[in-house]
Amino acid sequence: MQTIEETLRTFIAENIIFSSDGFPYTDETSFLENGIVDSTTVLELVLFIEQQFSISIKDSEVIPENFDSISCLAKFIKSKA
């Protein structure tokens, strides 16, 4: 079974950065600083997380502290579970 981090890495690699070599960054790499997730794809990411992990995300929870890296996201998802 995939960990939360692995699930996120796979989704971002395949659907957001379209990488054939997996997620080519560390789990701490900033999405904002590196333009990994942009203003459109952040919506896809929110939708995926809600569906994949059966959680509801409020607009006010979409903040850099929760969404700026794989590590931040995994921590946020675990806190909502």
Partner 1 sequence: MFENISLFMQLIYTSIAEKELQHLIRERVYFKRVVVPVTLDLTSLNGQQNPFQNTDYQFVELNSEDLQANTRTFSTRSRYLKALRSINNGLRGFVLLKDGKVISDIWCVAPQGADTPIRHPDLDMLGITCDSGDAYAEFIYIDPAYRGKKLAVPIFLSLLLTLKREGWRRIYAYYYEDNISSKWMHWMLKFEELPKLSLSRFFFFKKTQKFISAKPSIERNHS
Candidates 6, 11, 29, 46; binder of partner 1 (CB under 8 A) is 46
Angle at 9 (CA atoms; ends 3, 64), nearest 5 degrees: 100
Q: Report the helix count and the strand count for the chain, using DSSP H and E.
A: 5, 0
For the bound state, the minimum distance from the C-beta of residue 1 to partner 1, rounded and expressed in Å, comes to: 29
For the bound state, the minimum distance from the C-beta of residue 32 to partner 1, rounded and expressed in Å, comes to: 5
Which residues, 52 to 81, sit near partner 1 by CB under 8 A?
59-60, 62, 64
- What is the three-class DSSP state of 40? coil
Give the span between the Cα atoms of 3 and 6, in whole angstroms.
5
Which residues, 5 to 44, sit near partner 1 by CB under 8 A?
32, 35, 37-40, 42-43
Amino acid at 13: A
Binding site for partner 1 (CB under 8 A): 32, 35, 37-40, 42-43, 46, 59-60, 62, 64
